[in-house]
Amino acid sequence: MKRLLVMLFLMLATLPAAAGGLAPVIPKASGKPHPEGNLFMRINHMKLMKHDRDQTVREGDREIGHSLKACIECHAVNGADGQPVDISSDKHFCRTCHDFAAVKVDCFQCHNSRPEAKSQVLILPRPGDTNDLAAYLEGAAR
Amino acid sequence: MKPPALSFHKKPSEMSRRDFLKSGGAVATITLAQGVTLMAFGGQAGAMADPGKRWGLLIDVGKCTSDCTACVTACSTENGWQDTGHPETDAQWIRKVDLVDDATGHELSLPMMCQHCDDAPCIDVCPTTASFKRADGIVLVDKHICIGCRYCMMACPYKARSFVHEPVRGQKTYAPRGQGTVESCTLCVHRVDRGDSPACVEACGKTGNGAMMFGDLMDPESQISQALLNYPSLALRDDLGLRPGVRYQNL
């Protein structure tokens, strides 16, 4: 039974790759899930970050809900050396989707793409949730 | 025509209990004209740039030694800027300037950085409003909208701003910087926001020279205000009327 489950998991894990990259493999985050839900964040993360960055830079408000720093801390992906990878690696959380969607990220021309306190949490990629992706594409088309 | 200068007064005695609770402690009272007052309430205490404060530095040139670069090193380490092997164009958020009086041979050494002007020329000339002054008087570049035109570098009489020519990697998360934007001393805004003093001031104190003092110019009881009140000091290029937040003693 256990072996069957493992095999099933492996099949699912390799599904997006086998399907020729139909869905990006989104790495799992280490922190608490977004209360707004992943779908909301996928559609609106750039608006939230843009709004809150102005709050911090202009008003000096450091108690914001959506900072790039916080994104990077939870969504860090460790490379082979156990250290978080930077944006030059295609394993980087932001790149997994942005490469797939062919949308350029300018953030890391100035911002560090790795967390300050290097997280040692082992983060494994999970199979792409095709339902979520379909919903995202639907939302983006709206 | 310039609007009349506002006079700032903190009048905690005028606050009701309700106002105080609403404000969370961060309250500024601005006297616009006789009998007309405007009270501004900050959100959370210490969490926002407080319009009731004006951060400034007082540098005692008499205590600054020419062989010491602790402030420059501390700034570089804190904010993650360093030489890239191009001395003509490398970023300098703070630099040491040595002066010699030709007539007497008397030597002076002092740190130069953004003077955080009240009437900053860099803000006047910025075409995208990337150069701006926070409510507490700290002059910054919003690199999100800086197009790297470098008008502010031309306008600054203190040569305080630098342009980043090379791509940058491994920035400090609290001090983002990147190619194609202008940058300068931020008065360590990330430290100030958490209640600390700038890295240069801390480093200068650790060397034992103690030539730099940081504080709130608007608080008449602060150490810096008392020092400015009791001892002569001057603003560099005072003739320009920019009212800098950085002042020098024994110069």
% of chain B at pLDDT higher than 90: 77
Shortest alpha-carbon distance between residue B79 and chain A (Å): 12
CATH of the domain at B132: 3.30.70.20
Whether B148 has its CB under 8 Å from any CB of chain A: the answer is: no
- Please count the CA atoms within 13 angstroms of the CA of B68 that sit on its side-chain side: 22
In this structure, the answer to whether residues B184 and B86 fall within a common structural domain is yes
In this structure, the answer to whether residues B35 and B83 fall within a common structural domain is no
> What's the pLDDT score for residue B71?
96
Number of domains observed in the structure of chain A: 1
- Residue B65 belongs to domain spanning: 55-249
Cβ within 8 Å, pair B144-A69 = no
Binned at pLDDT 50, 70 and 90, residue B7 comes out as very low
At B63-73, the pLDDT tens digits run 999 999 999 99
Residue B109 lies in a domain: yes
In this structure, the answer to whether residues B25 and B121 fall within a common structural domain is no
In this structure, the answer to whether residues B115 and B173 fall within a common structural domain is yes
Residue B50 lies in a domain: no
Question: For B171, which of A59, A63, A111 is closest by C-beta distance?
Answer: A111
Is residue B42 scored above 70 in pLDDT? no
In this structure, the answer to whether residues B32 and B145 fall within a common structural domain is no
**Burial readout A65-99 (b: 16 or more C-beta within 10 A, e: otherwise):** ebbbeebbbbbbbbeeeeebbbbeeebbbbbbbee
Residue B49 lies in a domain: no
Question: For B170, which of A54, A61, A112 is closest by C-beta distance?
Answer: A112
> What's the pLDDT score for residue A129?
47
In this structure, the answer to whether residues B34 and B95 fall within a common structural domain is no
Rounded to whole angstroms, the Cα distance separating B240 from A22 reads 63
For residue B179, which residues of chain A lie inside 8 Å, CB to CB? 109
Number of domains observed in the structure of chain B: 2
In this structure, the answer to whether residues B229 and B181 fall within a common structural domain is yes
Q: ipTM of this predicted complex? A: 0.76
Distances, alpha carbon B102 to alpha carbons A72, B105, B110, B235, in Å? 55, 5, 17, 22
In this structure, the answer to whether residues B15 and B76 fall within a common structural domain is no
Binned at pLDDT 50, 70 and 90, residue B93 comes out as very high
Question: For A110, which of B44, B140, B171 is closest by C-beta distance?
Answer: B171
Average pLDDT, chain B: 85
Question: For B171, which of A58, A59, A112 is closest by C-beta distance?
Answer: A112
In this structure, the answer to whether residues B132 and B168 fall within a common structural domain is yes
Backbone angles phi, psi at B7, to 5 degrees: -105, 135
Shortest alpha-carbon distance between residue A53 and chain B (Å): 9
At B175-224, the pLDDT tens digits run 999 999 999 999 999 999 999 999 999 999 999 999 999 999 999 999 99
pTM to 2 decimals? 0.75
Residue B176 lies in a domain: yes
* Closest CA in chain B for residue A63: B47
Residue B81 lies in a domain: yes
Residue B47 lies in a domain: no
Cβ within 8 Å, pair A111-B179 = no
Average pLDDT, chain A: 77
